[in-house]
Amino acid sequence: MRIIHTSDWHLGKSLYGQKRSSEFASFLNWLAECIEQQQADALLIAGDIFDTTTPSNAALQLYYQFLCRVSLSCCQHIVIIAGNHDSPTLLNAPKEILQALNIHVVGCATADPQNEVITLRNKSNEAQLIVCATPYLRDRDIKLSSAGESIEDKDHYLQAGIIKHYQDVCKAATSRQLQLGGNIPIVAMGHLFTAGGTIGSESAVRDLYVGNLGHIPKNKLPSEVDYMALGHLHVPQTVAGSQTIRYSGSPIPLSFGEANQQKLVVVVDLEKDKTEILEVPVPIFLKLETIKGNWPQIQAQLTKLVESKSNAWLEIVYNGEHIIGDLSLRLREITKGSDLSILRVKNNKSLEQAIQSSTQEALEDLTPMEVFHRCLKAQNIPTDQRPQLIESYQLVLHEIEQLDEFAK
């Protein structure tokens, strides 16, 4: 059986206020064509289909149009799990209707592991593949928080809960495998953060849990499966060198920090005695570029892009020695009449900064923990007092996160 593994579409995501619907549409059109070219039997989507729990009508339209198109192709099955950005309720709402099209959706974990075990059958009703479709596990799915727990306690119980859940689902899958004759391959799906995973520079990845909570070691992942299709990390990668445990990564760059990554989908051929992997590069549908340097360097690079009639979206980082108060005006003059779009300008030598003697930072560029560290520094909190304050703040963030998850 041949499957295609993808994840982290983040449909509806914008970049500094710019909508990206055309990019998402181009990717989904390419993916539908790729499925036909590869003659894939199944498509696995490992979470974060949408960027928010309340996607726009345009994002929903892209999603359902794609599902309808692929359901009429050579692809016999689609399996979708929810990620941390997705609304379990929204994904599950049309579950029964989609089931009629052989589109299997698992939006949230349940008490019965069998609900996350899906048997894919061919047109002759013969079992071809067993899928352990485990969605992003929220705190309430796997453990109960207790008053007075330290961050280490929470980490221990959270990890133990996640590991047990995957073990229970895989145990249910191996039982079904025996019932079906014992030679049906098993594929696991998950949306989680493995220990040692690569996030990438300025990635758009959001922490699943506060700090290092819930980072699962490779040796705790299911070993009885033929392939594990993971979502959450946007950099395509294997886990601890294992070719059969993989993140497919996001299909388009979701931030300027991801612009130089080679995006891909993973094609997996499953046979009785072996698993073969093929990485298929995703084309660049819209170029993102970061231009850094002093003014002559920025000017030269911009001029070159204008002359080449590029339509790239740009991030400009000025780090020259001299103060430039009219940097934005200069940039507009160079790009006037071109198809270039400047989305972000970081002027590290503006007049305001020279007066303040500080680095220009936008709040949206900082994580809550980075803001807290800056507050500790600004208030001159003694170094020996900071670890306890940081741990307390992590616990507060964790509790807020659980309230947010409960609201979903």
User: 107 and 219 share a domain?
Assistant: yes
Would the pLDDT of 361 be above 90? no
Q: Stretch 250-279: mean pLDDT, rounded? A: 92
Q: Is the pLDDT of residue 141 over 60?
A: yes
Residue 331 has pLDDT above 90, yes or no: yes
Q: Are residues 207 and 326 in the same domain?
A: no
Q: Residue 82 in contact with residue 89, Cβ under 8 Å?
A: no
Q: Are residues 134 and 246 in the same domain?
A: yes
69 closest CA partner among 108, 106, 31, 24: 31
How would DSSP label each residue in 138-158? Answer: -HHHH----TT--HHHHHHHH
> Residue 263 pLDDT more than 70?
yes
pLDDT bracket for residue 246 (50, 70, 90) = very high
Which pLDDT band holds residue 357 (cuts at 50, 70, 90)? very low
In what helix (H) or strand (E) does residue 65 lie, and over which residues does it extend? helix 57-71
Is 251 in the same domain as 316? no
The answer to whether 259 and 242 are in contact (CB under 8 A) is no
- The percentage of the chain sitting over the pLDDT mark of 70, rounded to a whole number, equals 85
pLDDT of the residue at 322: 83
- Residue 206 pLDDT exceeds 70: no
Q: Read off the CATH number of the domain in which 307 is found.
A: 3.30.160.720
Question: How far apart are the C-alpha atoms of 106 and 172, rounded to whole Å?
Answer: 16
Pick 240 or 27 by higher pLDDT.
Answer: 27
Flag whether pLDDT at 91 surpasses 60. yes
pLDDT value, residue 66: 97
Task: Output the DSSP codes for 6-41.
Answer: E----BT--BTTB--HHHHHHHHHHHHHHHHHHT-S
Residues 276 and 297 in one domain: no
pLDDT of residue 284: 95
Measured in whole angstroms, the distance separating CA 408 from the mean position of its chain's CA atoms is: 19
| pLDDT at residue number 408 | 52
Cα 106 to Cα 46, 134, 155, 206, distances in angstroms: 10, 7, 25, 21
Q: What is the mean pLDDT of residues 237-249?
A: 92
C-beta separation of 298 from 31 below 8 A = no
Element (H, E) at 213: none
For the segment 187-206, the average pLDDT, to the nearest whole number, is: 74
Range of the domain at 34: 2-281
pLDDT surpasses 80 at 212: no
Same domain membership, residue 277 and residue 293: no
Residue whose C-alpha is closest to residue 119's, from 104, 97, 98: 104
Phi, psi of 332 (to 5 degrees): -65, -35
Q: What is the pLDDT of residues 292-313, one digit of tens each?
A: 999 999 999 999 999 999 999 9
- Is the pLDDT score of 72 beyond 90? yes
pLDDT band at 337 (very low <50, low <70, confident <90, very high): very high
In this predicted structure, what is the pLDDT of residue 175?
94
Query: Domain of 33: which CATH number?
Result: 3.60.21.10
Same domain assignment for residues 249 and 148: yes
Query: Are 277 and 312 in a shared domain?
Result: no
Whether pLDDT at 209 is above 60:
no
Burial 19-37 (b: 16+ CB within 10 A, else e): ebeebbbbbbebbbebbee
Structurally, how many domains does the chain consist of?
A: 2
Of 236, 254, 281, the residue that ends a domain is 281
Asked whether the predicted pLDDT for residue 392 surpasses 80, the reply is: no
Helix/strand/coil for 48: coil
Q: Give yes or no for residue 367 having a pLDDT over 80.
A: no
In a shared domain, residues 152 and 115: yes
Q: Are residues 277 and 317 in the same domain?
A: no
Q: Are residues 267 and 334 in the same domain?
A: no
- Residue 2 CB partners (closer than 8 Å, separation 6+): 38, 39, 40, 41, 42, 267, 268, 269, 270
Rounded Cα distance between 302 and 319, Å, is 16
pLDDT mean over 191-208: 67
353 contact partners, CB below 8 Å, separation of at least 6: 347, 359, 360
**What is the pLDDT, as a whole number, of residue 29?**
97
Give the global pTM.
Answer: 0.83
3-state helix, strand, coil in the chain (%, to 5): 40, 25, 40
- Does residue 269 share a domain with residue 298? no
* First-to-last C-alpha distance (Å) of the chain: 36
Contact in structure between 258 and 217 (CB atoms under 8 Å)? no
Positive or negative, the CA dihedral 294, 297, 300, 305 is negative
- Of 242, 260, 281, which closes a domain? 281
Boundary of a domain, candidates 216, 250, 281 = 281
